[in-house]
Amino acid sequence: MNKSSSLRSISTANRIDNLPDAILCHILSFLPTKQAATTNVLSKRWKSVWLYVPALDFDDENFKDFPSCRKFIKSTFTLRDKHDSIRSFSFKCGRHSRFTQKQYDAYLKKAMQYAVENLTFNMAKKVKHSKLPDRIFSFKMLQVLKLTNMEPGHFDQLDFPHLKTLHLNSISFISHEDIVKFLLGCPILENLQSQVYPYGIIENLNALPNLVKVRVIGLNTPMALICKTKILHIEEV
């Protein structure tokens, strides 16, 4: 590297360092939390920036082993100020994940304390469906919910008054009635992606009024609920 190139590199680094914390945090919010945390070695300026990022994204396949992943997640929650907001929380497990149902629930409880608006639980690589923590049914502040390869189990009712985006990918409900109950619990839903089980028919359903875009995989999603959407895309399994 010649002298002029070196000076340009230093100048660029200085410009980045001089950006406001809010912008730096926004940039880091697009990275998995483990990668965002590595920026703390860049300089004193960056030492604690990652702890104020309003998004947490954990994937156990990004770690060398289970203990290091669990330790990192625990330390992240410990180091963060409880008064700082987290708008987005994503938790993804690989095929050989050793996380337990109790730990799923504990992480969800932590997310609720931060009033998370965007929640993702992705168990796509697991051989069996993972049980969806019951705690989620009282998570009323959600605006975006994305679930993959999970079983909701039994629930009496569901109320997501602010939810606008819902992705149900390979979700196994106890009954078709529970599918209907889940969708009706999202009264202002606008964006739906649905691959659910089992199949069934329920008549005399009022269509969700605010749907704009729906992507359905298979024929198990109650068509009566989504028939008024502006954009409908149906795929075979």
* Sequence spans of domains, the chain: 1-49, 50-235
When mean pLDDT is compared over 2-6, 7-11, 171-175, the highest value belongs to 171-175
Q: Is the pLDDT of residue 10 over 90?
A: no
Judged by phi (left if over 0) then psi (alpha if -120 to 50, else beta), residue 153 lies in: left
Q: Is the pLDDT of residue 80 over 50?
A: yes
Q: Is the pLDDT of residue 222 over 50?
A: yes
CB distance 57 to 32 below 8 Å? yes
User: For residue 6, what pLDDT is reported?
Assistant: 45
| Dist. CA 37–CA 78, nearest whole Å | 14
- Tens of pLDDT, residue by residue over 84-116, are 788 999 999 988 888 888 888 888 888 888 889
Percent of the chain with pLDDT over 90: 57
User: For residue 196, what pLDDT is reported?
Assistant: 96
pLDDT, mean over the chain: 88
Give the H/E segment covering residue 19. Answer: none
Which pLDDT band, with edges at 50, 70 and 90, does 2 fall under? low
